[in-house]
Amino acid sequence: MERIPTFRKGGVHPDDKKVLSNGMAIERLPVPAELIVPLSQHLGAPATPLKQKGDTVVAGEKIGQASSFISADIHSPVNGAIVDIKKVNLANSVVTEAFVIVPDAENPLGNWPEQPYDMLSPQEMLAIIKDMGVVGTGGATFPTHVKLAVPKGKSVDALVVNGVECEPYLTADHRLMLEQTDLVLRGIMIVAKITQPKRIIIGVENNKKDAIETLRQVIASNSYPITVTPLKVKYPQGDEKQLLKATINREIPSGKLPLDVGAVVLNIGTSFAIYEAVALRKPLVERVVTVSGEAMSTKRNLRVLLGSKVADLIAFAGGVAHEPDKYISGGPMMGFAFHDDQIPVIKGTSGILALDNDPAMKAPQTPCISCGRCVAACPMGLQPTKLFRLIDNRMYADAMGMNLMDCKECGCCSYSCPAHLPLVHGMKLGKRLGRK
Amino acid sequence: MDVPKTIVSSSPHLHARSSTASIMWDVSIALTPAALWGVYVFGFRALAILLVSIATAVLVEYLLNMKGNNPKTILDGSAFLTGLLVGMNMPADAAFAVPVIASAFAIFVVKWTFGGLGANWVNPALAGRVFVFFSFTGLMNTYRMPRTLATVDAVGSATVLTEIKLAIGEGAVNGLSSAGVLAETGYPFTGFAGSVSSWFQQTLGIGLSPYTVDAFFGNIAGCIGEVSAFLLIAGALYLMVKKIITWHIPVSFLATFSMLAWLFGGVRNGLGLFQGDFVLQLFSGGMMLGAFFMATDMVTSPTTHKGMVIFGVGIGFFAFLLRFFGSLPESVSLAIILMNIFVPMIDRYILPKRFGETIKEPKKQEAKA
């Protein structure tokens, strides 16, 4: 028996609900009538627009230019015409400029044949990744070229690939691992060439045994120097801090990055995007989105052009079977509830969920009974109940002094609170007001 | 498509489906077998005491809920639980005024004057018990023998702990163990306990006094809910399986107490070190009820696991001191209350370990040169 590792401190075990959609092969969403392509689809500064209303664009053409060090280029997903530039709201409550693109009726899609890439130097590959606008597709959308640029004097001990997908319902990475196994692995080998790690590990939670099996087979037949590590299911293992603890037993210190413990972390969707960027010179213009939730008529894994409206995805899945309680962009633990189905899919949209009425989510708040469940559940070793009390009393500086900024809003505390206190909401508020 | 009825709220959008009420009712469920055993062995009057305690607690809670903008906590089960615990801490023969006063004191003074649920700094039920214990010491010290030990005069009996304490006070111990003292005074035990004891002696070669066996199964005099260690442990296991309590407080408490009782418990009997009969001590008095149901009260125990262990060790230490060297036979409730007072301090200084290793910064070469 192999010992199945996980991270040690905190964590919760929500019902993973993967079975709703993990048997559904990835399908392509038909080209929608209109795309809304925001200039801010990533962490960092919004891109600067390169096109104007009335311009025609071709698929893969750069339409937004990265505007600072942490920023990313934006490309047109289709051949078509820009009919408008307008302000839009995104699910994560970011307000940004967006191109409204009407795809060409006859030939909307681009064509990107594979090109040789073995001869490219690491620097050239990195430049291509930057040029193709690749960002982390797990949700945090950190620009990948920044992450992969290993500063001089630092070396990478481990490249850890995140196949955990710990959020309930989401199966997009799972399907990619099953269906595009070789291309995902090639993407990983490209990153290995850039960062020169001593070892390469793919961490996969063992509720995806088929993916572990498939990855191992393809790795063996190609003799890739990659280890697949099954991990015990526990949320939030897909966070890079918990993932590194589980796979290489290192803890990233507060405020530091994976590179500070000699690691680079990358998820499955991003690996696939990197393959497409370097081997096909195809920009990040589409991604896989899980469409699921009890209230959704059918559950799907869709390959979607960025800028497609959420309404198009829901309509493709046959609409909702009944009025859902909540629409979520992303996973149910960290995703964003939205009410407007005209918002676009962006680089970080991993799922669109229609959640059923859940009485537990409507239970009234009751006083804190100091049960300590939030303390036990916090993977960062914080005391959510104390932080919440401080923030409630507007003592933001004191909350900061108790490491409020270590909180990554994973939701374990609110999830386990029997008093139904909105702990994560308090943390978000405290961070925002405490920074001032 | 407009979606007007959907909820927009902060993440997370899932919940573990527990609530304060579900916790409180689960604890009450876990206490029920031990309470029913008390009713069985002490008779109808025990049931009446339990009902009076619960009714008073719920009524006082209801009246306080009526006032102004006090939170409406009547249905969360916390008052019911407090009442049940107060009742379980009463002798079956207490005058009805005693549980009424205890419950009312618990809910009104201890719980609500500090702000209601979650704000009290000692366990209300315990404080209620201690309040009436010191106010009506005579009434609170009159126990009846359980129906299973009905060979002797039923009312006005002493508990094993009182019996031992009295004997020691009279200097009548002569180097006898606790069980020896009880045997000397002719304290009764059931036939069942006698045969279990001799079976242990003959088959396993282990000396297990029949008094310990009776204490474990609840054939002793005592408060209504505290006598059956067996059923209390069963209830505690239920709570542990449901993850409502963790092992930290009860285990550290009982281990500390047992260790000290084993080490020094024989001294007052004129025996040497390592002679204390800690097993009898563990199963008698309010030890099990206190360890599993009182000390683990969430509001008045630390929030971190490390803090819980310190809290448990402290209770074990005070329980030992008070039980063996104090003037009262019973100690657990006072020990828990003492440690309740330390909880804010424990929570202030015992912090969970923050995630993140310390990285050795490369030493600056220039500074050395």
What digits encode the pLDDT tens for the residues A90-139? 998 889 999 999 999 999 999 999 999 999 999 999 999 999 999 999 88
Contacts of A336 in chain B (CB under 8 A): 11
**How many angstroms separate the CA of residue A198 from the nearest CA in chain B?**
20
Q: Tell me what ipTM this predicted complex has.
A: 0.89
- Tell me the whole-structure pTM to 2 decimals: 0.91
CA B144 to each of CA A93, B42, B148, B231: distance values in angstroms, whole numbers, following the listed order:
68, 7, 11, 20
* Facing residue for A366 by CB, picked from B10, B20, B305: B20
Question: What is the rounded distance in angstroms from the CA atom of residue A2 to the CA atom of residue A122?
Answer: 36
pLDDT in the model for residue B137: 83
Considering only alpha carbons, which residue of chain B is nearest residue A379?
B355
Task: Determine, for residues A323 and B5 on separate chains, whether the beta-carbon distance falls below 8 Å.
Answer: yes
Task: Determine, for residues A375 and B11 on separate chains, whether the beta-carbon distance falls below 8 Å.
Answer: no
- Token code pair at residue A387: 């932080």
Block residue for tokens 């009025």 = A323
What digits encode the pLDDT tens for the residues A342-373? 999 999 999 999 998 777 788 889 999 999 99
Contacts of A368 in chain B (CB under 8 A): 118
- Token code pair at residue B220: 């002793």
**Within 13 Å and on the Cβ side, how many CA atoms surround B12?**
27
* Domain A26-112+283-355 class, CATH top level: alpha beta
Contacts of B73 in chain A (CB under 8 A): 366-367
Q: In what order do the strands lie in the sheet with A286-292?
A: A26-28, A300-305, A286-292, A351-355, A326-329, A336-338
> Contact A307/A318 with Cβ under 8 angstroms?
no
Considering Cα of A112, then A115, then A121, then A122, what sign does the dihedral take? Answer: positive
**CB neighbourhood size of B312 (10 A):** 27
Domain map (residue ranges) of chain A: 26-112+283-355, 117-280, 363-435
Run of H or E residues at A197: none
Hey, is the C-beta of B119 within 8 angstroms of any chain A C-beta? yes
Q: Nearest to residue A173, comparing CAs of A292, A276, A237, A269?
A: A269
Question: What is the rounded distance in angstroms from the CA atom of residue A347 to the CA atom of residue A2?
Answer: 36
User: Could you say which residues from 274 to 333 on chain B have a Cβ atom under 8 Å away from some Cβ of chain A?
Assistant: 298-305, 308
Question: What is the rounded distance in angstroms from the CA atom of residue B20 to the CA atom of residue B43?
Answer: 33
Residue B58 has pLDDT above 70, yes or no: yes
Hey, is the C-beta of A375 within 8 angstroms of any chain B C-beta? yes
The band of B363, judged by pLDDT with boundaries at 50, 70 and 90, is: low
pLDDT in the model for residue B156: 57
Task: Determine, for residues B1 and A424 on separate chains, whether the beta-carbon distance falls below 8 Å.
Answer: no
Question: What is the rounded distance in angstroms from the CA atom of residue B301 to the CA atom of residue B126?
Answer: 13
* Facing residue for B19 by CB, picked from A252, A363, A414: A363
Hey, is the C-beta of A317 within 8 angstroms of any chain B C-beta? no
Task: Determine, for residues A326 and B8 on separate chains, whether the beta-carbon distance falls below 8 Å.
Answer: yes
**How many angstroms separate the CA of residue B66 from the nearest CA in chain A?**
17
- Token code pair at residue A389: 């009390």
Task: Report how far Cα B26 is from the mean position of its chain's Cα atoms.
Answer: 16
**How many angstroms separate the CA of residue A126 from the nearest CA in chain B?**
28
Hey, is the C-beta of A252 within 8 angstroms of any chain B C-beta? yes
**What is the CA angle A39-A44-A48, rounded to 5?**
35
Question: What is the rounded distance in angstroms from the CA atom of residue A277 to the CA atom of residue A370?
Answer: 51
Q: Domain A117-280: which topology?
A: Rossmann fold (3.40.50)
pLDDT in the model for residue B368: 42
Task: Determine, for residues B20 and A332 on separate chains, whether the beta-carbon distance falls below 8 Å.
Answer: no
What interhelical angle do B20-42 and B44-66 show, nearest 10? 150
% of chain A residues with pLDDT over 90: 89
Beta-bridge mates of residue B144:
B155
Task: Determine, for residues B14 and A358 on separate chains, whether the beta-carbon distance falls below 8 Å.
Answer: yes
> Contact A173/A290 with Cβ under 8 angstroms?
no
**CB neighbourhood size of A121 (10 A):** 10
Task: Report how far Cα B51 is from the mean position of its chain's Cα atoms.
Answer: 20
**How many angstroms separate the CA of residue A132 from the nearest CA in chain B?**
31
Strand ranges (DSSP E) for A90-127?
95-103
What digits encode the pLDDT tens for the residues A244-296? 999 999 999 998 999 999 999 999 999 999 999 999 999 999 999 999 999 99
Task: Determine, for residues B118 and A367 on separate chains, whether the beta-carbon distance falls below 8 Å.
Answer: yes
Task: Determine, for residues A415 and B12 on separate chains, whether the beta-carbon distance falls below 8 Å.
Answer: yes
Contacts of B1 in chain A (CB under 8 A): 311, 341
Task: Determine, for residues A371 and B355 on separate chains, whether the beta-carbon distance falls below 8 Å.
Answer: no
pLDDT in the model for residue B285: 87
Contacts of A14 in chain B (CB under 8 A): 14, 16
Question: What is the rounded distance in angstroms from the CA atom of residue B3 to the CA atom of residue B21?
Answer: 33
Task: Determine, for residues A367 and B119 on separate chains, whether the beta-carbon distance falls below 8 Å.
Answer: yes
Question: What is the rounded distance in angstroms from the CA atom of residue A233 to the CA atom of residue A242?
Answer: 12
Question: What is the rounded distance in angstroms from the CA atom of residue A54 to the CA atom of residue B167?
Answer: 102
pLDDT in the model for residue B369: 38
The band of A397, judged by pLDDT with boundaries at 50, 70 and 90, is: very high
Please provide the average confidence, as pLDDT, over all residues in chain A.
Answer: 94
- DSSP result, B66-84: HSTT----GGGSHHHHHHH
Give the three-class secondary structure for A328. Answer: strand
The band of B155, judged by pLDDT with boundaries at 50, 70 and 90, is: low
The band of B360, judged by pLDDT with boundaries at 50, 70 and 90, is: low
Hey, is the C-beta of A335 within 8 angstroms of any chain B C-beta? yes
Task: Determine, for residues A369 and B117 on separate chains, whether the beta-carbon distance falls below 8 Å.
Answer: yes
Task: Determine, for residues B14 and A252 on separate chains, whether the beta-carbon distance falls below 8 Å.
Answer: no
Task: Determine, for residues A367 and B303 on separate chains, whether the beta-carbon distance falls below 8 Å.
Answer: no
Block residue for tokens 């036990």 = A376
Question: What is the rounded distance in angstroms from the CA atom of residue A94 to the CA atom of residue A90?
Answer: 5
Q: What DSSP designation does A304 have?
A: E
Hey, is the C-beta of A357 within 8 angstroms of any chain B C-beta? no
Q: How many CB pairs under 8 A join A and B?
A: 174
> Contact B84/B78 with Cβ under 8 angstroms?
no
Strand ranges (DSSP E) for A7-49?
26-28, 35-38, 48-49
Number of helical H runs and strand E runs in chain B: 17, 2
Give the three-class secondary structure for A300. Answer: strand
